Amino acid sequence: MTERFHRPMRVPAEAFDAFVGGADPAVSSRVAHDTAAALLHRIRGGSDPAAVERLVAYTDDRGIDEFAELWSKAAAHSLPGALWRLYVIRAAVRHDADGAAYLFELGVQDDASVNPAIAGAPTPSGPRELELLIDEILRGAFVGDFELALERAAAFCRIMSRGALETASRQERSEVVDWDAWCSASGVAGERDTLRAARYLEYADDLHHAARRWARGELD
């Protein structure tokens, strides 16, 4: 990474809803593919655990804008697109671990599939456990089974999507005295949570397809 980017972009929870970078662009920059491949090759081919930890935590101090500059416009089912999504998910969890843990817990309660087992979070999962989980998933992308890391991230996103949908549903079912005020407040919140659920589900699908492409040797 260069040192010319001096203004880190912080990622509030709501920013996850706004991130649409790399949804399905017609053309992705060659530099995105080259930098992603070079970075992954260098880290996976090395033997320095400290370098891996620095890369996992890279955005904590520097923000996510350097990765956005490189990868946010890449195709969803590409290597830079997959790495971008992993970092966006981590940034969202890190910024609001309490809110993420709440959504995750709701999602686990509503998910009877294998997603919780694939994601690998302990039960129950508090904010700290969720931070450790997302770091573990990202770390696995650099030093472990890359396909598994992407599938775990996809499962995580499916759970978060279910949690956001449940939150939106609870907003609709709420009973308050001031009906007009509730319609205004809960309508905005419900729309936000529904959008967030859709974005998480989109990320889940993107990461799953990227994992399938990696398994076939087609992810570049």
The CA distance from 126 to 98, in Å, is 7
Phi/psi-derived region of residue 119, left when phi > 0, alpha when psi is between -120 and 50, beta in every other case:
alpha
Q: What is the pLDDT of residues 150-203, one digit of tens each?
A: 999 999 999 999 999 999 887 765 544 454 554 444 455 668 889 999 999 999
Where residue 7 falls among pLDDT bands split at 50, 70, 90? Answer: very low
Distance in angstroms (rounded) separating the CA atoms of residues 179 and 177 = 6
CA–CA gap between residue 94 and residue 13 (Å, rounded): 9
Question: For position 213, what pLDDT does the model report?
Answer: 97
If you count DSSP H runs as helices and E runs as strands, how many of each does the chain have, helices first? 11, 0
14 found inside a domain? no
Residue 183 to residue 1: CA distance in whole angstroms: 47
pTM (predicted TM-score): 0.80
Total domains in the chain come to 1
12-41 pLDDT per residue, tens: 455 456 454 544 444 446 889 999 999 999
Kindly report the number of other CB atoms within 10 A of residue 93's CB atom.
Answer: 25
Torsion of CA 138, 143, 147, 150, to 10 degrees: 0
pLDDT digits (tens, 9 = 90+) for 66-98: 888 889 989 999 999 999 999 999 999 999 999
Mean pLDDT of all residues in 200-220: 97
Q: Write the DSSP assignment of 35-98 as a string of letters.
A: HHHHHHHHHHH---HHHHHHHHTHHHHH-SHHHHHHHTTS-TTSHHHHHHHHHHHHHHHHHTHH
Q: Would you say residue 41 lies in a domain?
A: yes
Asked if the model's pLDDT at residue 128 lies above 80, the reply is: yes
Q: What is the pLDDT of residue 146?
A: 96
- Are 159 and 137 in contact, with CB atoms under 8 Å apart? no
Residue 103 confidence (pLDDT) above 60? yes
The answer, yes or no, to whether residue 8 has pLDDT greater than 70, is no
Whether residue 15 lies inside any domain: the answer is no
Q: Does 179 reside within a domain?
A: yes
- In a domain, residue 16? The reply is no
Answer for the pair 196, 166: CB distance below 8 angstroms, yes or no: no
pLDDT at 104: 96
Confirm whether 220 is domain-assigned: no
Is residue 57, in this structure, part of any structural domain at all? yes
Q: Which amino acid is at 208?
A: H
Within-domain flag for 17:
no
pLDDT of residue 206: 98
Range of the domain at 149: 26-215
Cα pseudo-dihedral 139, 202, 207, 95, rounded to 10:
-10
